[in-house]
Amino acid sequence: MRIKLPPALWKALYPACSGTRQSPIEIGLVSVVLDLTLESLDLSAYEAHPVGNNWTLVDNGHSVQFSAQFNAPPQIQNGSLGTKYVLTQFHFHWGATDDRGSEHVINGTRYPLELHLVHRKFNETDAQSTADSTGLAVVAVLFEIATGTETANPHLEPLISAVSQATIPNAPVTVTLPDMKLADILPQSPSYYRYLDSLTTPPCAEAVVWTVMKRRVKITETQMQIFRSLRVPPEPTPASDRSLHVEAGPPEVLVDNFRPTQFSVGRVVRYHPEVYLVFVD
Ligand SMILES: [Zn+2]
């Protein structure tokens, strides 16, 4: 039976959720440390297409999650990560309205959508990576609504059309997306925030090197509505009610799937800038 456990109660089942290194956090710009020793993040095979251009996605009741088989899977390296990390899946967090949805809060602002590209240390298994304090590397991308004369990222369309096909919760669908490359979805600027923390869903393993891209990607209101039309699985009808032919209510929409920000005092967020200043004689 599916039980909806609010974030404040996760710690009852998953003790790590009450740890001191929990995500997400508010990144207040005054507490961010500019760190010129942070290397640029290198994305490799982010231009690659999966085998057959096929992506599998599922509305798992908590998010919409994409995965695919690659001959050479996308990887991240450098970026002061120390080693290579291989993409395992990506998923989103979003809100019912434009004023909320992202997990990370930047200087008091919560954005309507956040993408998490989840990578595992290249030589570890799933179990090993969640037991390793740097076993996972998640790249977070924040989205904001295009307003006025701004245009949304045109490369989002294949991804949004795929999301619109995830109409049945917990039923994976495979879609062929010859025009989708992950590199096209990311912001073009290399600047990012870096901190060490945890998964934002149970078991809340404190195993994540977070890279939060500073520049946002533009999305339209219409595209946001596609995420907001996803559904959570229906609650099972108790056996005692089945004979009563109780009418099921309308399915519940999947929105506001973000965790509240966690205690972040004393934690250091480092910042890799847009450009380096180079001083010459
Ligand atoms: Zn996430």
- pLDDT at residue number 2: 44
- In this predicted structure, the answer to whether residue 52 has a pLDDT above a threshold of 50 is yes
The residues annotated with a catalytic role in the active site are: 62
Domain count, the chain: 1
In a domain, 176, yes or no: yes
Model confidence, pTM: 0.90
Domain of residue 165, residue span: 7-232
Compute the average pLDDT of residues 168-193. 94
How many other CB atoms sit within 10 Å of the CB of residue 150?
A: 10
In a domain, 280, yes or no: no
Ion ligand 1 — residues with CB < 5 Å? 116
In a domain, 270, yes or no: no
278 C-alpha to ligand 1 centroid (Å):
36
In a domain, 274, yes or no: no
Residue 208: CATH number of its domain: 3.10.200.10
Q: Characterize 115-144 residue by residue with b for buried, 16 or more Cβ atoms within 10 angstroms of its Cβ, and e for exposed.
A: bbbbbbbeebeeeebbeeeebbbbbbbbbb
- In this predicted structure, the answer to whether residue 201 has a pLDDT above a threshold of 90 is no
222 C-alpha to ligand 1 centroid (Å):
22
In a domain, 259, yes or no: no
In a domain, 64, yes or no: yes
51 C-alpha to ligand 1 centroid (Å):
25
In a domain, 38, yes or no: yes
What pLDDT, in 10s, does the model give residues 227-257? 999 999 887 666 555 555 555 666 799 999 9
- pLDDT at residue number 1: 38
In a domain, 276, yes or no: no
